Structure 1
């Protein structure tokens, strides 16, 4: 399965299908009142109560959706970076907005549109952290009606929870889609084409809510009105010419967003990523049959994890812990599941000989 960023370059025209009305034949019920075998019986009254309860429950759920949208949508903005559009979430009352690093790209100034106004606001980059595909921008002036979002507890996100995705898909600002949490703890790798960061992202929330180009950086929200993730990636199906795979989107969990955005706002940069690293530069190598066969070390950071473990340029890593390593992506995904300071075993070859080394992981 491949994944693609959800950035959009420009809005497009949409065609809407006509809506159909459903005529309810209530007169039939009135004409037959009292004529059925269950009329006036306990079973009849129970059936009538059940029928009455169903629309009441539906109305309650609809009202809950509408209240969440009313509460959260003022915290979701559209971000224009050059000729590209994405989304963002207001992080605090000082005008800080968190979004994806691939939305801001290499820009340092932006135009931001809120849910309550078509007039763009100016904003500037605070810092970007491509390794986690997150960035923070700051509004030059915070207008009336814009408020900070509330971020939920990622550890409480469960499969089956109803969620709403809010953002600017295809440039349509303040759009909302609905789905469920399909899975948690996913690890996905973003491509580098078209300005992608190439980041390997762990603990992602998978959702069936429609995630389209332009949703990047927006909000994935639970029915308590809490942001539980930042929509970032949509799966693509190579068998369908890399077109989007419907109903498979991924969001960076709220805990990661708070950790990274909080450090950027406090320090102007990320000082404690929580991401494990070997402190090497590597490349994928292939065997005699042109199959990916490991990661060749191109260079080793002085004093880093690999250097301390005795690894050196030219070694080919083939395993990390219990995970076979065949590509640079598989190495990144294995490291994404680990923590700085964790001890593990690296399997590698040197001059054709298979070797192992104990390594204490560093921090990216």
Structure 2
């Protein structure tokens, strides 16, 4: 992701100051804080003591949220790897990222209620949405579940706190705002990522560092509104993390996946659309990505039933251009199972279209 900040300053017309003494008095007045306080939006001056009180009130609210939520955030150790999790209920279920648990089946969990690590076991992992649920083998007395909010109440600009164990530093808190909602992002498989394409993500300026994954993104009502999952990186070769651009899985998705795993031991209704193919990115004569070649289209799948077959090259899904397997996944992320969509593809050098009824991941 590229972001080019603008650093423009508005400059007023230059005015020549005649008496130097007057200029000196003006500077002195500003330096002494003698200027009139800036007006409030209503036009009335803002009193300095009111500003100070507002700062104290916000600080106290931060402290209250941290006191409420931090005891519900745990550190999860899988061998040499560390991540975070959030206590989901009083039965010892903990929700985290699938890439945090990896292939492990048992874990050491550190909770605020005790210094010794507690043993936990995997309930189920759902890499397609990068979520997993583990359960403490013995539930300690006083285990506190988090309060999970409502995705519909997440607003761009609202203050949020990210809590977890970045770089192994347990019980760490960073702050920022919700920068955007409804983002679709794709994880890299490098560094243990699932490679999943994730829809409806919450973008935040709160710092998300390695180890924050699986923790809590919370609002000032002490409610979890997302699970921090990844930070953006500069797409240039060798690019490093892009500060201030992190992403969290929205609470609605967390609830849907976690509830199904706890009830059935697995996800039974993903709500995610699928074309039911395996494919690979193909390039044109200039070595630029040009579409997705169908490698297999299993019998009875959405693509096969619409007439697509191995060797076809998909170039559009609806009005969205498809150039890579990632762009195809991102286009599907905004669709629903059972939805009909026009797929444009190339077969034997000829452009064709098919009406596909999408399947489910």
Q: Which runs of 4+ in 1 moved over 4 A?
A: none
Q: Is the 8 Å Cα contact of residues 203 and 252 (structure 1) preserved in structure 2? A: yes
Pick aligned residue for 1:174 from 171, 175, 191 = 171
Q: 1:315 to 1:176 in 2, by over 3 A?
A: same
2:173 is the alignment partner of 1:162 = no
2:117 is the alignment partner of 1:120 = yes
Which residue in the other structure is 2:141 paired with? 144
The CA deviation at 1:159 is 0.3
User: What do the CA deviations read for 1:253-286 (whole angstroms, capped 9, x no partner)?
Assistant: 0000000011000000001000000100000011
Pick aligned residue for 2:288 from 288, 291, 294 = 291
Instruction: Tell me the C-alpha RMSD between the 2 structures.
Output: 1.7
Partners in 1 of 2:336 and 2:191 — Cα distance? 30
Which residue in the other structure is 1:336 paired with? 333
The CA deviation at 1:239 is 4.0
Q: 1:292 to 1:239 in 2, by over 3 A?
A: closer
Which residue in the other structure is 1:349 paired with? 346
Q: Is the 8 Å Cα contact of residues 74 and 145 (structure 1) preserved in structure 2? A: no
2:307 is the alignment partner of 1:310 = yes
The CA deviation at 1:146 is 2.1
The CA deviation at 1:241 is 2.8
Partners in 1 of 2:74 and 2:177 — Cα distance? 23
State the secondary structure of the residue aligned to 2:47.
helix
The CA deviation at 1:329 is 0.3
The CA deviation at 1:236 is 0.8
The CA deviation at 1:323 is 0.4
The CA deviation at 1:117 is 2.5
User: What do the CA deviations read for 1:116-166 (whole angstroms, capped 9, x no partner)?
Assistant: 322100000000000000000000111133211111111111100000000
Partners in 1 of 2:150 and 2:75 — Cα distance? 25
Q: Is the 8 Å Cα contact of residues 115 and 173 (structure 1) preserved in structure 2? A: no
2:221 is the alignment partner of 1:224 = yes
Which residue in the other structure is 1:275 paired with? 272
Higher relative contact order (CA 8 A, sep 6+): 1
Which residue in the other structure is 2:72 paired with? 75
State the secondary structure of the residue aligned to 1:57.
helix
User: What do the CA deviations read for 1:331-364 (whole angstroms, capped 9, x no partner)?
Assistant: 0000001111111100001111110000110100
State the secondary structure of the residue aligned to 2:188.
coil
The CA deviation at 1:37 is 12
5+ long unaligned stretches in structure 1: 3-31, 39-45
2:357 is the alignment partner of 1:360 = yes
The CA deviation at 1:287 is 1.1
How many residue pairs are counted as aligned between the two chains? 324
Pick aligned residue for 1:133 from 124, 127, 130 = 130
TM-score normalised by the chain length of structure 2: 0.87
Partners in 1 of 2:192 and 2:174 — Cα distance? 26
Partners in 2 of 1:74 and 1:302 — Cα distance? 50
5+ long unaligned stretches in structure 2: 3-31, 37-43
Partners in 1 of 2:202 and 2:143 — Cα distance? 26
User: What do the CA deviations read for 1:172-222 (whole angstroms, capped 9, x no partner)?
Assistant: 001000000000000000011232210000000000001101000000000
2:241 is the alignment partner of 1:244 = yes
Q: Is the 8 Å Cα contact of residues 343 and 358 (structure 1) preserved in structure 2? A: yes
Partners in 1 of 2:275 and 2:67 — Cα distance? 46
Partners in 1 of 2:35 and 2:91 — Cα distance? 67
Q: 1:355 to 1:222 in 2, by over 3 A?
A: same
2:56 is the alignment partner of 1:65 = no
Partners in 1 of 2:236 and 2:259 — Cα distance? 40
Partners in 2 of 1:351 and 1:242 — Cα distance? 39
